[in-house]
Each structure stands twice: as structure tokens, then as C-alpha cells.
């Protein structure tokens, strides 16, 4: 599952999931609406032969929404053991075929976001591919930022995890507010500053639902019971799309004016694929893996008020180009598209060895000793970051970093090799993680350089004061005579026991954070070392974090100019 959800780690805070093809926002437009009926008045299913609520494993949860519906479904038991993303672990897709890439990349990202969200309900172990748990998640459905997990749940254990603020629930304490429709309802009553807008939770023996607010949670539960309109009950076109795409092990649907923000929130997949639904287009796409795990079939259905000739031609020429066994089928009309094709999983798995470098070849591009590593705790964010900085010129076209928890990032300078002061950071799990650095050559082949454990243990106040005494750091502030920010220089005036120091401004942009030392160095940060950061002149704090052995924590705090 870590490979399948690697798309999540390339997420950004931008809301341009399909940068060229998807410019819709959450505001209803003049495009063909998906739902024009009141949400509390279910209508009859449009067809007698196909009922999405009973024929599709996710159908009962597809509630109505005037802002459109972005949904995803995954049968975790049937996904390949090593996962599929279609990118071979690199920034470029191994094939350029939207019929395969659209559901795999967007669906994989949706699974990753869903797993993270379910951790708020104490299900972090249940969605891990390696951990053991008394609860089991077998299916996940995501609808407009509501996550429905189906399986078998140890409700008493989840209750204890929810009502006590522990690391398993990101330090959030919940209270049980009611029991209704077979679900125990929980709302947050205490949350750390690093967690914004913690979700609400509903727990039953075979279903756990996590949503952004009580209203959406209630609407989802009512839809599951059949007491709330579902989107296919109010629009026959949606039923047709669902029927043509069918069930599947990984399903993605984008209906009405919904954009990726409706499903992913701030965690947008950082993708630049050839295809993305345009305003006015409604899409459902499903992937089904064969029992042997060697191939998969992708099915795609799209409707629109009208498809331009250019749009039709793009789909005709790009969909199904990487299929096997002459399985490609694409039918295009002025307002409807269907496509199917069968693919070889080996073409798309991240375990492909076609573009791998040996460790010796990677070290010839970049010496592992030319890399420094610094851990920056999450602060008021949800994830920490492990920064990798290059200290000398190299022959590498890029540096890639991958966290065991799924985060990854890559830097590839244009028209030059990676050189001194180039840096890249991977998001990491503050509960424990490790990061591997790779060298990338000019052909896109990658090779492992080194792996570093992230020092996420908490550095106690006593250990911090012993490692970096109060008089070990000198602070010198220069006011903002020119420009928007003042400047703070931090000088180490006595030897320390810290392997790294990180100076993080609390008001000025995070790009001004400075870092020294390295987790892999044999020597701690010593006298004469300096850090420099910009600060807001009207009031700012700068926190200095230090790492000692496997622990990281605050070692000093500058509270603005006197």
C-alpha cells in the first residue's frame, strides 16, 4: 500500500490538481447540474436492471451535493501487494496513457488521504500494511472529504483511543456525544495547536466514518441507510456512468462542478497528467486487478453537454495507447465517451528495475558524504520535514528523497547538474520515520545513496539545556531599514552537543528557515557556526530546534527585538 499511495507524498497546498485541464472551482456554474432536487427527497432509481446502491460496493454512500461530488473507492484486499502508481518511483510516468493513469494516480492519492484521515479515529495501525491491529479495514470510500471505512472494528478499543489524547489520534481528545442509527458519535473537545479543524467520527462494528463536520457526517450516514438522496437517484446520466464503469478495486468519480479540493482538501496530488475532466464533464473510472496480480482492466465513462472536436480527438488518440492484447476500445460521440483496456502491471509498478542504478553508480554521481541531513519538527503543521542539502558539485541530474511513511520529493535543476546548496525536503511522520536519498542521472535512472533515521523522539527540556546551554547562542537583530523583513543572526559562541540546529521564524515565511549541521556528521555543531533568518519587524518569534542522538526539540527561543 505504501507504493500505491506514494502519490500523496507529492501533494501540495495548491488547488490545481489538473493544471491545464481542470479549471473549475467549488462554485456551481452554468454547466449541466448533477442534482436539482431537494436533498431530503429521494426519488426512484432510474433503471430497473441496475441499482448502484446494491450493485456497487460504494453506491450507497454517494450522497448528493449542490457543489458536485468527487469520490473514490478502494478494495484494499484486492490491490496489488506492491501497489501501482504508474510512475516507477520517478517524477515521470512510465507510460503516457490517461485510461490507466487517471484512475491509478488520483485513486492512489485518495487512498493515501483516506488512510491519513482514518488515523484521527485511531485506525492508524488498521490501515498500515505492516502493523497488526484488532480492527481491520477492507474497503475505503471517500466522498467530498468524508471517509467511510468498512471492515471489522474493535469498538471498545477505538472508544478508549478517542476519548484520551494520545499520539495515535494526533493528541486529540474526543467525547462521545450520542449513539444514533447504530453509530457511536464522537466530537473533538481538545486538540493541540498543530491540528487545525479536527474531524468528527462515527463508529460501528463494521463501519467507521470520519468527516469534516457533523452535517456532512449525518448526511453520509443517512445516505447509507437510504434515508437521504443519492446522486444517481436524481440524475439518470450518473447511473449510466456508474453502470458503464462498473465496480472495481479502485474507482474514481468526478461529478458536477466538484474539483480535487472537494476530495483532497489541502493535500492536492502534484500531478501534470495528459487528461483531467474539464468543467461540464462528468467522469467515472474503475480499475479491476486480475486474481494473479499480473494485469488489470481499466474502464472509463464520460458525459458532457457537448464535446469539442479537439477534445474528442485528444481522447481518441491518447486513451488506451499502452494496452496489451489488442484490448483497446474507445467510443466517442458528441456528448459521451466510453473506453476500456487491459494493461500489464509490470509496466506501471514502482518495483520496476528498468531504470535502477547500482549503489556504486549512484555514488559516482553524488558522494553520500556530500549530503547533509536536518530534521525540522512539524511546529503548527501536521508533518515534519527532513531536509537534504548538497555541499559540493555533483554529476547528478537530480536528488530524490523518499520517506518510509510515503512522503517523497525530488529536485532536478534545469540545464545543470545538482550542485552546492541545492536542497530538497520530504514530509515525514513525526511519530517515527526514515528517509532514503537517491541520485538521478540524465536518463532518469535512480540509485540509492543512503538511508537516515529521522530523530523524531522528543528532546526533554533538561536534555535540551544540557546539549545547548542558554549562553551557547548569541542573537543579533538588524531592523528592516530596507525591505519587508528584519534580519536575525544566531551565532554559536560555545560548543554544543547538538548534531543540527534549525532556526524557524514563526511569522515570516518558512522559506527563511535556516539549518546547520547534519544528522550523519561525526561532530556536533561547534563554536563559530551561524544561522540567519528573516523576521517580521512588527513582532516575531524564532524557535531554534536542536537534534541530539535520536531526539529533537526546542533548545532556544528568541522573542523579538527589545
Place 20 in a pLDDT band, splitting at 50, 70 and 90.
Answer: very low
Decide if domain 359-454 falls under CATH 2.60.40.10: yes
Instruction: Determine how many CB atoms are found less than 10 A away from the CB of residue 369.
Output: 14
Place 405 in a pLDDT band, splitting at 50, 70 and 90.
Answer: confident
pLDDT of residue 380: 66
Whether the CB-CB separation of 544 and 502 falls below 8 Å is answered with yes
Decide if domain 461-558 falls under CATH 2.60.40: yes
pLDDT, tens digit, 9 for 90 and up, residues 57-83:
999 999 887 778 889 999 988 887 655
Whether the CB-CB separation of 25 and 259 falls below 8 Å is answered with yes
Place 46 in a pLDDT band, splitting at 50, 70 and 90.
Answer: very low
Place 28 in a pLDDT band, splitting at 50, 70 and 90.
Answer: very low
3-state secondary structure 67-136: CCEEEEEEEHHHCCCCCCCCCCCCCCCCCCCHHHHHHHHHHHHHHHHHHHHHHHHCCCCCCCCCCCCCCE
Whether the CB-CB separation of 145 and 113 falls below 8 Å is answered with no
* CA-closest candidate to residue 125, choices 161, 164, 75: 161
* 359-454 and 461-558, same CATH topology: yes
pLDDT of residue 355: 64
Pick 220 or 46 by higher pLDDT.
220
- Output phi, psi for 107, to 5 deg: -65, -40
Q: What is the pTM of this model?
A: 0.59
pLDDT of residue 467: 95
Place 412 in a pLDDT band, splitting at 50, 70 and 90.
Answer: confident
- Cβ neighbors of 470 (< 8 A, separation 6 or more) are 556
Q: Each residue of 96-119: b (16+ CB within 10 Å) or e?
A: ebbbbbbbbbbbbbbbbbbbbbbb
Arithmetic mean of pLDDT, 550-554? 94
pLDDT, tens digit, 9 for 90 and up, residues 346-362:
776 544 444 688 999 99
pLDDT of residue 7: 34
| Portion of the chain with pLDDT greater than 90, in percent | 46
- What are the C-alpha distances in Å from 116 to residues 2, 387, 403, 410? 12, 22, 15, 22
Mean pLDDT of the chain: 82
pLDDT of residue 3: 33
Does the pLDDT of residue 223 top 80, yes or no? yes
Does the pLDDT of residue 88 top 50, yes or no? no
Pick 110 or 10 by higher pLDDT.
110
pLDDT, tens digit, 9 for 90 and up, residues 127-149:
655 455 788 899 999 998 899 99
Q: Quick check: helix, strand or coil at residue 229?
A: coil
Positive or negative, the CA dihedral 54, 60, 65, 67 is negative
pLDDT, tens digit, 9 for 90 and up, residues 243-286:
999 889 999 998 887 665 555 554 445 445 567 788 888 999 99
CA atoms within 13 A on the CB side of 475: 21
Instruction: Determine how many CB atoms are found less than 10 A away from the CB of residue 551.
Output: 16
In the chain, where are the structural domains located?
Answer: 6-347, 359-454, 461-558
Place 235 in a pLDDT band, splitting at 50, 70 and 90.
Answer: confident
Place 205 in a pLDDT band, splitting at 50, 70 and 90.
Answer: very high
Arithmetic mean of pLDDT, 158-162? 89
* CA-closest candidate to residue 547, choices 502, 508, 514: 502
Amino acid at each position: 500500500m505504501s507504493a500505491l499511495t506514494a502519490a500523496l507524498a507529492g501533494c501540495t497546498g495548491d488547488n490545481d490538481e489538473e493544471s491545464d485541464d481542470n479549471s473549475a472551482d467549488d462554485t456551481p456554474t452554468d454547466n449541466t447540474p448533477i442534482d436539482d432536487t431537494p436533498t431530503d427527497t429521494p426519488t426512484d432509481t432510474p433503471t430497473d436492471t441496475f441499482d448502484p446502491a446494491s450493485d456497487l460496493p460504494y453506491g450507497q454512500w454517494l450522497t448528493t451535493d449542490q457543489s458536485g461530488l468527487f469520490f473514490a473507492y478502494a478494495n484494499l484486499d484486492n490491490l496489488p501487494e506492491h501497489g501501482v502508481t504508474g510512475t516507477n518511483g520517478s517524477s515521470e510516468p512510465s507510460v503516457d496513457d490517461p485510461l490507466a493513469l487517471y484512475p491509478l494516480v488520483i485513486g492512489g492519492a485518495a487512498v493515501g488521504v483516506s488512510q491519513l484521515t482514518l488515523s484521527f479515529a485511531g485506525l492508524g495501525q488498521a490501515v498500515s500494511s505492516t502493523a497488526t491491529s484488532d480492527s481491520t479495514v477492507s474497503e475505503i470510500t471517500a466522498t467530498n472529504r468524508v471517509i467511510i471505512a468498512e471492515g471489522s472494528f474493535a469498538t471498545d478499543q477505538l472508544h478508549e483511543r478517542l476519548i484520551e489524547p494520545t499520539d495515535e489520534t494526533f493528541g486529540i481528545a474526543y467525547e462521545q456525544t450520542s449513539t444514533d442509527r447504530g453509530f457511536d458519535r464522537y466530537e473533538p473537545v481538545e486538540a493541540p495547536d498543530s491540528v487545525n479543524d479536527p474531524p468528527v467520527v462515527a463508529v460501528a462494528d463494521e463501519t467507521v466514518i470520519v468527516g469534516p463536520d457533523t452535517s456532512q457526517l449525518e448526511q453520509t450516514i443517512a445516505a447509507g441507510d437510504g434515508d437521504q438522496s443519492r446522486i444517481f437517484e436524481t440524475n439518470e446520466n450518473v447511473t449510466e456512468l456508474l453502470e458503464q464503469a462498473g465496480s472495481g478495486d479502485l474507482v474514481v468519480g468526478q461529478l458536477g462542478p466538484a474539483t480535487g479540493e472537494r476530495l483532497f482538501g489541502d493535500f492536492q496530488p502534484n500531478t501534470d497528467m495528459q487528461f483531467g475532466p474539464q468543467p461540464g464533464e462528468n467522469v467515472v473510472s474503475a480499475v479491476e486487478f486480475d486474481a494473479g496480480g499480473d494485469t488489470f482492466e481499466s474502464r472509463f465513462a464520460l458525459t458532457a453537454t457537448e464535446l469539442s472536436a479537439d477534445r474528442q480527438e485528444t481522447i481518441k488518440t491518447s486513451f488506451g495507447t499502452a494496452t496489451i492484447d489488442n484490448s483497446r476500445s474507445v467510443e466517442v460521440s458528441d456528448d459521451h465517451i466510453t473506453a476500456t483496456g487491459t494493461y500489464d502491471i509490470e509496466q506501471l509498478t514502482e518495483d520496476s528495475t528498468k531504470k535502477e542504478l547500482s549503489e556504486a553508480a549512484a555514488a559516482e554521481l553524488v558522494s553520500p558524504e556530500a549530503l547533509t541531513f536536518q530534521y525540522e519538527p512539524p511546529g503548527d503543521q501536521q508533518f515534519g520535514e527532513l531536509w537534504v542539502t548538497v555541499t559540493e558539485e555533483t554529476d547528478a541530474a537530480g536528488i530524490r528523497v523518499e520517506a518510509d511513511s510515503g512522503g517523497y520529493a525530488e529536485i532536478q535543476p534545469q540545464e545543470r547538474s545538482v550542485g552546492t546548496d541545492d536542497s530538497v525536503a520530504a514530509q515525514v511522520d513525526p511519530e517515527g520515520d526514515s528517509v532514503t536519498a537517491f541520485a538521478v542521472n540524465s536518463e532518469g535512472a535512480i540509485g540509492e545513496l543512503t538511508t537516515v533515521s529521522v530523530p523524531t523522539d522528543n528532546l526533554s527540556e533538561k536534555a535540551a539545556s544540557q546539549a545547548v546551554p542558554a549562553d551557547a547562542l548569541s542573537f543579533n537583530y538588524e531592523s528592516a531599514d530596507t525591505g519587508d523583513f528584519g534580519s536575525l543572526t544566531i551565532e554559536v559562541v560555545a560548543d554544543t552537543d547538538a548534531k543540527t540546529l534549525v532556526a524557524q521564524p514563526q511569522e515570516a515565511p518558512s522559506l527563511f528557515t535556516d539549518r546547520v549541521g547534519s544528522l550523519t556528521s561525526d561532530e556536533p555543531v561547534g563554536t563559530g557556526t551561524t544561522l540567519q533568518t528573516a523576521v517580521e519587524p512588527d513582532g516575531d518569534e524564532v524557535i531554534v530546534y536542536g537534534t541530539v542522538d535520536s531526539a529533537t526539540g526546542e533548545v532556544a527561543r528568541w522573542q523579538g527585538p527589545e
